[in-house]
Amino acid sequence: MAVTSLAQTLTPVFSVVNHTLSWQSAAWLGITLVFYSFAVWVFRRLNNHPLIHPLTLTAIAVGVLLGITDTPVAQYHQYAGLLHWLLGPATVALAVPLFNQWQRIRHLGWPLLLSVAVGGVIAPVLAWLMVYIMDAPLAIQMTMLVKSITSPLAMETGAIIGGIPALAAAFVIITGIVGALAAPLTYRVFNVTLPEAQGVPLGSVCHAVGTAKALHMGEIQGALATVGLCVNGVMTAVVLPLLF
C-alpha cells in the first residue's frame, strides 16, 4: 500500500523530469526564463509600475513567440511542465512570510483576520455575480471565484472546483493590475491614511501584484499586504473545495 502510494505520488515528478530532458523543453524553459528576467529588469527600471508587471510582459512575449512558431499552447504547457510543477513548492513557500509576520498578526488579532476574510469573500463573490448575471459558463463562474488569490493557489484551487487553471492565471493578473492601479486613487478619495488599512486590502484582494505595490508604498503596508495575501490565499484554497 505504501509503495503504491509513493509510486502514484512520484509519477507526475518522473513525467515532468522526462519531458524536461528533451531539447525542446530546455529551449522553451530557457526562453521563458530569459523573457521573465528581462521583464523584471524593465519592471524595476520603470519604478515597479503595475501595468508592466513581469508576469504580464512574460505572458505576452511567450504568447507572441508561440504564435510566430505556430506552437500549440498545450505543447508549450508540456514542454514547460517543470514551471507548472514548481507551483506546488511555491504554494508551500507562502508559509515563510506568514511565519515572519506572525508577531504582527498576533498583535492585530481577530480584526485583521476578519478584515482579510471579509475582503476575501466580497471581492470574488461580486465578480462571480457579474459573470452569473451574464450567464457565463459554469467553468468561468468557478474560475472567477479564485481571482483574488495568488497564481499557484488560484490555478490549483480553480482546477479542483471545476474552473480553468489557465484562465484563473489570467484573471489573477488582471485583478492585481487593476487593484494596484486603483488603490492610490481610492485611498485619496476616501482619505485612507492608516498604513495597515492600505496594506491589508492590497494583499488580500490583489495578491502578489498588490503586495508589490504595497511594498512600494511603505514597509508597514508591505508587511500587512503579505499577511493578507497569505491568509486569504490559504483560507480560499481550503474553503472553496469544501463548498464545491
Residue spans per domain, the chain: 2-85, 95-243
Residues whose CB falls within 8 Å of the CB of residue 15, separated by 6 or more in sequence, listed in order: 81
Give 4-20 pLDDT, tens digit per residue: 554 455 555 556 566 56
DSSP classification of residue 135: T
Q: Is 194 left (phi over 0), alpha (psi -120 to 50) or beta?
A: beta
Is-contact 158 240, C-beta < 8 A? no
Sign of torsion, CA 178 175 227 121? Answer: positive
Average pLDDT of the chain to the nearest whole number: 85
Q: Which three cell numbers stand for residue 100?
A: 515572519
Give 55-83 pLDDT, tens digit per residue: 788 989 999 999 999 999 888 888 888 88
Residues whose CB falls within 8 Å of the CB of residue 73, separated by 6 or more in sequence, listed in order: 66, 166
For residue 202, how far is the Cα from the chain centroid? 13
Q: DSSP assignment of 24-76, as one string?
A: HHHHHHHHHHHHHHHHHHHHHHTTT-GGG-HHHHHHHHHHHHHHHHT--HHHH
Least confident interval from 104-113, 123-132, 194-203 = 104-113
Average pLDDT value for residue range 175-190: 90
pLDDT band at 238 (very low <50, low <70, confident <90, very high): very high
Q: In the prediction, which pLDDT does 9 show?
A: 52
